[in-house]
Structure 1
Amino acid sequence: MNNKFRLIALAGLLAASAAHADDDVNVLTLAGGIAGGPRYSGADERVIGPALAIDYQMANGFYASTMRGIGYGRQLGPFDVGAALGYRGERSERDRAGLGGARGSTALHGMGTVKGSATAVLHAGYAVLDGLELTMAADLPISHRENGRTLAIGVTGTLFAQGADHVTLALAANLADSAYVRTYYGVTAAQATRTGYTPFTPKAGLYEMELGMTWQHRFNERWSVTTMAGLSVLTRDAARSPLARRDTAPTGAVFLGYRF
């Protein structure tokens, strides 16, 4: 289970659950299920594992979540803005998996471990019209800044919303600075000597496109089930990286949520 997809999937569930809450109440959401995706970005290995989360959304906009981090978000007319302290997981050069998901692969043996880092996550959204929102999110490392920064620009649309069912479709373009693409897709001369991969120095810019569909069915005010299916496609230098054994990766998840 890819950490990035797990974050997207469960954050989507938690945000949707919070959206159903009254403005004047605090909401605690527990979520659990199963998710699948590549072992790392560019891997040809797939892994399926458990996905668990705890999310506490306060009526004043503050939240604490195992998926979203600790932060604050607010709706200001058609605008949705917020900031959070989060964590970007490590990438190992070994097969490491557990409750938190896959964090590496033996295909990366000799590449060294990319350390996890605390990050500042800034996001903003604009509702163009009812059911259609433009979004932007920046992920800025606070520790291990050498891992680089990313920016996601996307659009989310509601395809169907009636009764207990809510279906959305989202498209995102992910961009990164040179430090990020070199960390996750580059191969230095020293790494090439250890691994046999060809030295590779990718450039900053667009590195990935993502498409995802979410269907949430609410049984009542407390219980819901969410199904997600997605596709991520590496582009430009990221797709040409020696580490990218497969540039297209399907992802999926099914999980159950309970709102207190």
Structure 2
Amino acid sequence: MRHALALSLLALCAFSSKSFAEDAAAAAAAAGDSFSAGVGLAYVPEYAGSDKRHVVALPFLERTYSNGIFLSTQRGIGYQARVGDFTLSAALGYDGGREDHKKNYFSGSDDLKGMGNINGSAQAVLSVGYQVGTVGLSLTTKQNINHREYGSTYIFGANVPLYTSATDQVGFGASVVYGDNKHMQTYFGVTAAQSAASGYRQYTAKGGVESITGGFHWNHVLDANWSVRSGVGITRLTSDAADSPLTRRTVTPTVMTALIYRF
């Protein structure tokens, strides 16, 4: 489920426009650090390619320091720096994997019975960003550390503001996810053993573009500390991910909203 959640939120959680609430917190960041906390809800598929969806909680905590270090439930633990016109970041993140049964309301899917679990894995997350006028571009790779057999992904993203005022920022975000052979086989392939246990036909998934996501995001400032972040978007699985016997729906909508307090 965590993999599906990550795919679905790629284009929904980039809020690049400044607001007066962010300006109020900038002094704290300049003095040494900044801290934000909140909670949200997201309506997402049970797994990438599922035709069933559910509501999951989105806890949000982020601590940033003036020296570039950050600790975040979304970005992991890492370091970010600006070098000329580029923004570079390196972080240690975590992917929760996938369960092959309905573990609880928030995790797993009975449609994957017999496929076996995909264990959680620490990830090295490396990103580079570049601003072209009002358009923010980014390239990110996620490399599994303790489960190298799960492969790697490469994500190209773009974000453009559409409307900005003192209290509201609306933008559009899009992303393309490329998965290597190991990644695609892990999440969309079916081995002979898995086929015998699950009933799905045997299938070899090769590396390629896994998905394309597009969505609108809205940040509404309530006061100097509180804000509401919301987003709505659509993810489409492509190539071997779309043709996988595990994929029951190639196009899925995602809706999310979160209440954030910035100290």
TM-score (norm 2): 0.91
Q: 1:185 to 1:105 in 2, by over 3 A?
A: same
User: 1:95 offset after TM fit, Å?
Assistant: 1.0
Match of 2:5 among 3, 6, 9: 3
The aligned counterpart of 2:140 is 137
Once the two structures are overlaid, the 10-residue window that deviates more, 164-173 or 69-78, is 69-78
User: 1:255 offset after TM fit, Å?
Assistant: 1.1
User: 1:16 offset after TM fit, Å?
Assistant: 7.3
User: 1:161 offset after TM fit, Å?
Assistant: 1.2
SS of corresponding position for 1:217? strand
User: 1:19 offset after TM fit, Å?
Assistant: 6.2
User: 1:9 offset after TM fit, Å?
Assistant: 7.6
User: 1:3 offset after TM fit, Å?
Assistant: 3.2
1:222 counterpart = 2:225: yes
1:159 counterpart = 2:167: no
**Number of corresponding residues:** 256
Greater relative CO, 1 or 2 (CA 8 Å, sep 6+):
2
SS of corresponding position for 2:197? helix
User: 1:168 offset after TM fit, Å?
Assistant: 1.3
User: 1:4 offset after TM fit, Å?
Assistant: 1.4
- Give CA-to-partner distance per residue, 1:44-98, whole Å, 9 cap, x none: 1100122212111111110111221100112334211101000011200011246
| Amino acid paired to 1:226 | R
Identity %: 37
Q: 1:51 to 1:10 in 2, by over 3 A?
A: farther
1:84 counterpart = 2:87: no
Cα contact 1:133–1:155 (8 A) shared by 2: yes
Match of 2:238 among 225, 235, 238: 235
Match of 1:42 among 49, 52, 65: 49
Cα distance in 2 for partners of 1:7, 1:15 equals 18
Cα contact 1:10–1:67 (8 A) shared by 2: no
User: 1:152 offset after TM fit, Å?
Assistant: 0.3
- Give CA-to-partner distance per residue, 1:87-126, whole Å, 9 cap, x none: 011200011246xx43x21100000000110000001111
SS of corresponding position for 1:24? helix
- Give CA-to-partner distance per residue, 1:125-155, whole Å, 9 cap, x none: 11011x2111100000111111110000121
| Amino acid paired to 2:244 | S
The aligned counterpart of 1:115 is 119
Cα contact 1:6–1:51 (8 A) shared by 2: no
Cα contact 2:216–2:233 (8 A) shared by 1: yes
Match of 1:60 among 58, 67, 70: 67
User: 1:190 offset after TM fit, Å?
Assistant: 0.8
The aligned counterpart of 1:94 is 101
Q: 1:60 to 1:16 in 2, by over 3 A?
A: farther
Cα contact 2:10–2:213 (8 A) shared by 1: no
TM-score (norm 1): 0.92
The aligned counterpart of 1:200 is 203
Q: CA RMSD in A?
A: 2.2
Cα contact 1:123–1:135 (8 A) shared by 2: yes
The aligned counterpart of 1:185 is 188
